[in-house]
Amino acid sequence: MEWLNEYEKLVIRMDTPKVVIDNAACPTATLVQVDSARNRGVLLEAVQVLADLDLSINKAYISSDGRWFMDVFHVTDRRGRKLTDHSVISYIQQSLAAWNGPVGIDPSASAAGMEGLTVLELTGADRTGLISEVFAVLADMGCGVVDARAWSHRGRLACLVYLRDADVAAAGAARIEARLTPLLRGAAAAEPFSDSSVVAAVPACSVSHPDRRLHQLMHAAAAREHDDRRASPSEADTPSVSVESWAERGYSVVTVQCGDRPKLLYDVVCTLTDMDYVVFHGTVDTSASGGARQEFYIRSADGSPISSDAEMRRVSLCLQDAIERRSFEGVRLELCTPDRPGLLSDVTRTFRENGLLVAQAEVSTKGDMASNVFYVTGTTAGQAVHRSAIDAVREKVGVDSLVVEERPPQLHQKETRPADRSDGGLGLFYLGNLFKRNLYSLGLIKSFS
């Protein structure tokens, strides 16, 4: 029936997000506003697109009203400037406006980019040289690494390694898994959680987003540790995460306070989403001193708030872990060099031989060039990296090929703004006043006082 087809078209138009990018409303940042039908995936998708473009979210406002949802982000590039590149602006608009599917699927990404690739998902007990041994085994089996991501946290390693299907077929997926599994298990009984090690080969198209998948792997591996762990808010470098009940409004209030860094909002929203919580309202604010405060009003997927102290504690610890995984202090090494078989095995072996532990890694190849970023520390937690070790690595891999940065990239200096907070937490205020105040601070309404 024709009227039914028109109704279906109307529903599609209503559900499709509307994206507005405004450079005039705020003097210091670009406003990205996303309006859509309320959908569990749209917030994560919006934050994911901005994070993938390496943009900084200085402020944000999130609110849902009935079945409608609105996200507003104050965004700058990594140098603190407004967005002026038309290709970037167009990409944001097209990516978010086209989104109308499952959480974490980037509609602008071509499926062809994942064709012909297999992903190895690796989790296990971390130790010095483990990454080097993994890459050495793959090189020995004739598997060239196309891309890879690795995170280590609290003695655990999670890694995604993208291999060509042809290499996997030649070596045999079962043989690859059999060779790598003992490495991930570590020294058996001497290693805690050794029985939770996983080596699995899956099609690349099944991994919707590598960072999200790493969070999931790390979360699954650390789940049992939470039973014996206590939060340590007294430590200066520990993120402060509180979860409180606002029963009269039917919400749980999550408050995060920590140092700001790239992709912080993505890590928090991703974790809440994967724990099956829905963000209904929220605010994000960063300060000139480099601090960040995030507050979210959440409910579980069935519409109920968190009902137990144990679950509140679990949410708090999981968010702390998610924030800490990508928070890093050490040395960043960026290697750009012609690709060749065994490159990663040789480079990571050089790190190990010079007493360097790879805490994080991002590996990619484009054509004949390899672009690899490694975050390294000393082999002991908190141990400084000696300059002699870095010099030895540079001599081995090529002085001109390796760029050294003593600290990870810092966020730009932010505009100083007067604080507008209460010691008791925003959950004690009437929700409407909170959103009105933030609408004004975000430049969406004018003050008539």
The token pair at 76 is: 């700058």
Residues 6+ apart with CB under 8 A from 24: none
Reply yes or no on whether the pLDDT at 130 is more than 80. Answer: yes
Q: What is the reported pLDDT for 110? A: 42
The mean pLDDT of 226-241, rounded to a whole number, is 62
Reply yes or no on whether the pLDDT at 420 is more than 50. Answer: no
The mean pLDDT of 369-385, rounded to a whole number, is 82
Q: What is the reported pLDDT for 40? A: 76
- Pick the more confident residue, 256 or 290: 256
Over its C-alpha atoms, the chain yields an Rg (Å, rounded) of: 23
Q: Where are the domains of the chain?
A: 2-98, 111-225+328-405
- Pick the more confident residue, 265 or 396: 265
Q: pLDDT band for position 381 (50/70/90)?
A: low
Rounded Cα gap, residues 102 and 119, in angstroms: 20
Q: What is the reported pLDDT for 275? A: 95
Task: Check for a shared fold between 2-98 and 111-225+328-405.
Answer: yes
The mean pLDDT of 55-81, rounded to a whole number, is 91
Q: What is the reported pLDDT for 100? A: 54
**pTM attached to this predicted model:** 0.83
The mean pLDDT of 93-97, rounded to a whole number, is 87
Rounded Cα gap, residues 267 and 258, in angstroms: 13
Q: pLDDT band for position 412 (50/70/90)?
A: very low
Beginning with the edge strand found earlier in the chain, give each strand of the sheet holding 251-259 in spatial order: 18-22, 30-37, 68-76, 56-65, 277-286, 291-300, 251-259, 240-246
Q: What percent of the chain has pLDDT over 90?
A: 51
User: Which class for 202: exposed (0-12), middle (13-18), buried (19 or more C-beta within 10 A)?
Assistant: middle
Q: What is the reported pLDDT for 417? A: 42
Q: What is the chain's mean pLDDT, rounded?
A: 81
The mean pLDDT of 128-149, rounded to a whole number, is 94
Q: What is the reported pLDDT for 439? A: 45
The mean pLDDT of 1-17, rounded to a whole number, is 55
Q: What is the reported pLDDT for 441? A: 44
The mean pLDDT of 324-336, rounded to a whole number, is 87
Q: How many other C-beta atoms can be found within 10 angstroms of the C-beta atom of residue 224?
A: 12
Look at 175-184, 248-257, 398-407, 435-444 and tell me which has the smallest mean pLDDT.
Answer: 435-444
The token pair at 154 is: 């609290």
Look at 63-67, 96-100, 276-280, 345-349 and tell me which has the smallest mean pLDDT.
Answer: 96-100
Reply yes or no on whether the pLDDT at 185 is more than 60. Answer: yes
CB 114 within 8 A of CB 205: yes
Residues 6+ apart with CB under 8 A from 375: 328, 330, 331, 332, 333, 358, 359, 360, 361, 408
Domain 111-225+328-405 matching CATH 3.40.50.300: the answer reads no
Q: What is the reported pLDDT for 419? A: 39
Q: What is the reported pLDDT for 407? A: 58
Q: What is the reported pLDDT for 405? A: 81
- Pick the more confident residue, 263 or 225: 263
Rounded Cα gap, residues 200 and 205, in angstroms: 14
Q: The domain 2-98 is classified under which CATH number: 3.40.50.880, 3.40.50.150, 3.30.70.260, 3.40.50.720? A: 3.30.70.260
Q: How many other C-beta atoms can be found within 10 angstroms of the C-beta atom of residue 232?
A: 9
Q: What percent of the chain has pLDDT over 70?
A: 76
Q: pLDDT band for position 229 (50/70/90)?
A: low
Q: pLDDT band for position 187 (50/70/90)?
A: low
Reply yes or no on whether the pLDDT at 261 is more than 70. Answer: yes
- Pick the more confident residue, 410 or 237: 237
Q: What is the reported pLDDT for 196? A: 63
